[in-house]
Amino acid sequence: MEAKQIKEFAAKLGAQGCGIADLARFINAPEGFKPQDIFSACQSVVVFIKQMPTAAILAENPVPYTHTAYKMYEEIDRIAMELCRFFESNKINAVLVPADVPYLAWDQDKMHGKGILSLKHAAVQAGLGIMGRSTLFINKTLGNMVYIGAVLIDAAVEPDPLAEDFKCPENCRRCLDACPQQAMDGITVNQKLCREKSFFQAGRGWDLYNCNQCRKVCLYRVGKKSG
């Protein structure tokens, strides 16, 4: 199947960007977290993105941002499900990677979780953008408020070139400086420190986001030079 056909169908489903990565791009992924560890027949990873309605991050009340984020996960999973059906109707087996939970890997002490495939890395490997100093994924046009989905297929499709035409400015430390937990070192995020601040339980035990400063202050929040 041609990459163009896949991208056109993904766009029809509402994806705002779609790219393809081959397995060679995942050679440095941790053992157990490579596409072929999930689906041994996998030959290509189809990755797509969609932007959250961005003003949600400007609300002082945490409910709109939290609810919008959870709905984004549902939207991404819906697109991934339809993509799987599309591939199956073309005699290609397709396996969905969840947009969020469930995980298999969870370290309670460190409050550290790992999705079955890192969607941020997959999006980079599919040429859709870069990983910022905050470790958030950034698409040049849409910024960092994008959600990512992926489908693993047992067909070889031409991969996309990596996005190498933009990066974090050398001297930018906005995200690192804005973090109330000093959870970032420019390479990784200490998930325990982050989760202690970025989630809280309200009302009847509802989980709400309580911090998104690293996303909010980024130069690329809603696209290139948006800060």
Residues in touch with ligand SF4 (CB under 6 A): 132-134, 168, 172, 174-175, 178-181, 183-184, 189, 194, 197-198, 211-214, 217-220
14 or 180: CB nearest ligand SF4? 180
Q: How far is the CB of 174 from ligand SF4 (least distance, A)?
A: 4
34 or 224: CB nearest ligand SF4? 224
Q: Comparing C-alpha atoms, which of 146, 129, 120 is closest to residue 57?
A: 146
DSSP letter at 78?
Answer: H
9 or 65: CB nearest ligand SF4? 65
How far is residue 224's CA from residue 166's CA, in Å, rounded to a whole number? 9
Q: How far is the CB of 224 from ligand SF4 (least distance, A)?
A: 10
DSSP letter at 19?
Answer: E
Q: How far is the CB of 50 from ligand SF4 (least distance, A)?
A: 20
32 or 227: CB nearest ligand SF4? 227
- CA distances (Å), 47 to each of 25, 68, 142, 144, in order? 13, 21, 15, 16
Q: How far is the CB of 49 from ligand SF4 (least distance, A)?
A: 16
Residue facing ligand SF4 at closest CB distance? 132
How far is residue 79's CA from residue 13's CA, in Å, rounded to a whole number? 6
φ, ψ dihedrals at 93, nearest 5°? -80, 135
